[in-house]
Amino acid sequence: GAGVSQSPSNKVTEKGKDVELRCDPISGHTALYWYRQSLGQGLEFLIYFQGNSAPDKSGLPSDRFSAERTGGSVSTLTIQRTQQEDSAVYLCASSLDRTPTEQYFGPGTRLTVT
């Protein structure tokens, strides 16, 4: 079956604009995760969904970041009023249940804020 997909693959935006990043998890995976991969920072956890609920939003760096998941499937990460420090690769992962025994990662969205 298809793996985790993300769109767009690349996004260039001007500082101050809003962006939406999309993640399609593997069908049947109830858990979904967003991470951010920055140069020199490795991967940072942003948010976790179990079904449509987000019990842990502790990794979101500011209130400009939000995410939702609908129908227990597609998730959207929204960044409002983007700043240059938001430039990074945003990775989505999904797993069969809430244990992280194996998280399957998408190809990522490279966000560049100019």
Partner 1 sequence: AQRVTQPEKLLSVFKGAPVELKCNYSYSGSPELFWYVQYSRQRLQLLLRHISRESIKGFTADLNKGETSFHLKKPFAQEEDSAMYYCALSGRGGGSNYKLTFGKGTLLTVNP
- Of residues 56, 92, 49, the one with CA closest to residue 72: 49
- Of 14 and 27, the one with the shorter C-beta distance to partner 1 is 27
The kind and range of the H/E element at 93 are strand 88-95
Nearer to partner 1, 14 or 39 (CB): 39
Smallest gap from residue 100 Cβ to partner 1 (A): 5
User: Measured from the CB of residue 89, what is the shortest distance to partner 1 in angstroms?
Assistant: 10
Burial of 53 (0-12, 13-18, 19+ CB in 10 A): exposed
Minimum CB separation from partner 1 for residue 23, in Å?
Answer: 13
Please state the φ and ψ torsions of residue 84, each to the nearest 5 degrees. -60, -30
Q: Shortest gap between Cβ of 17 and partner 1 (angstroms)?
A: 27
Q: Which is nearer to partner 1, 25 or 108 (CB)?
A: 108
Residue type for 70, please?
Answer: T
* Helix, strand or coil, per DSSP, at residue 81: coil
Binding site for partner 1 (CB under 8 A): 3-4, 31, 33, 35, 40-45, 48, 50, 56, 59, 91, 95, 98-103, 105-108
Specify the residue, 20 or 44, whose C-beta has the smaller distance to partner 1. 44
Closest CA to 24 of 109, 112, 88, 101: 109
